Amino acid sequence: MLKDLKVSVIIAAFNEERNIGACLKTILDQSYQNTEVIVVDDGSTDQTIKIVEQFPIKLFRLSHRGAAKTRNYAADKASGDLLVFVDADMTFSRNFIRELVQPILAGKYKGTFSKEEYISNWDNIWSRCWNFNQNWPKQKMIPGDYPEEGFDFRAILKEEFIRVSGFDDVGYTDTWTLFKKLGYKPHVAKGAKYFHTNPDNLTEVFIQAKWTSKREYKLGFIGKIVALTRASLPISLIAGLYKAIQYQEPRFLVFKTIYDLGIFIGIIEFLATGKTSK
């Protein structure tokens, strides 16, 4: 049984001036005290760094390398025995870290995740449309019947992370590469409640969709062609109209058009350049 291990909370940030302040306030107010917080700014061009500098955390600055390389850099600098990976657009219940790492401290598992991930801006129409498009439940990102083992580590022993050289730089699904290399999946940590912000304007919808498209596909190049076809305007309009009727939300058709445009352009950019970052 492990007790009172130091936790390094790692946040990769890129142009997160709207969210990073709230994120840091709640992560610094955790009931689990033996922590350090590391923010690695990945080449932000907004006020992210100025906001982060107001908090008692470790700050590192990189050129725009992408999320995987940024998180790996932070893990290398971390002094904790446990690594916790969160996003800059998240906020947390006060016991989030305590509940997240408890199964690891008890010696049950080497890594955990939480199914208690809620939408923090559900009152925004574009945020709701994002959930409709992903087929997620109301106000949540993870269905209640989701398996007890996941794909995305939120907490993991640092020695395990370092053993497999961290995340692979494959774009949006980079965090999923960890379980493939480790040979096991993270186990659910009950009670670790946190909140995530969905894109809340059409510009953010486009940017986020473009980034999510730059990922691995099951069928490789053929999978990318299939995704391009699904994101093409005629199919996008048909799918958008169907869900607009299903959810009785006419604005979903606008959302779907912008979202699929981001997907389409993102795949084209990746095929042309091979770059996975935003």
The pair of three-digit structure tokens given for residue 139, joined into one six-digit string:
């106000």
pLDDT value of position 2:
64
Cα–Cα distances in angstroms (integers) from residue 35 to residues 3, 6, 61, 154, in the given order? 13, 6, 21, 15
Q: Contact 80/35 with Cβ under 8 angstroms?
A: yes
Structure tokens at 196: 């995530």
| Mean pLDDT of successive 10-residue stretches along the chain, which has 278 residues | 85 96 98 96 96 97 91 97 97 97 96 97 98 94 90 97 94 88 97 96 96 82 89 96 97 98 93 73
Query: Dihedrals φ, ψ of 241, to 5°?
Result: -65, -40
Q: What is the pTM of this model?
A: 0.91
Domain borders along the chain are 7-196, 202-273
Closest CA to 110 of 74, 136, 81: 81
**Contact present, 44 and 15 (Cβ < 8 Å):** yes
- Round to whole Å and give the CA distance between 244 and 161: 43
Q: In the chain, how long is the greatest CA-to-CA distance?
A: 57
CA 217 to chain centre: 18
Q: Smallest Cα–Cα separation from 276: which of 173, 185, 199?
A: 173
Which pLDDT value is given to residue 172?
A: 78
* Alpha-helix residue ranges (DSSP H) falling in the chain: 20-27, 48-52, 67-77, 96-105, 125-134, 158-163, 177-182, 202-212, 221-231, 233-246, 252-273
* 7-196 has CATH 3.40.50.280 classification: no
> Which residue from 98, 127, 111 is spatially nearest to 33, judged by alpha carbons?
98
Q: Are 132 and 248 in contact (CB under 8 A)?
A: no
Say if strands 194-196 and 90-92 run parallel, antiparallel, or are unpaired: antiparallel
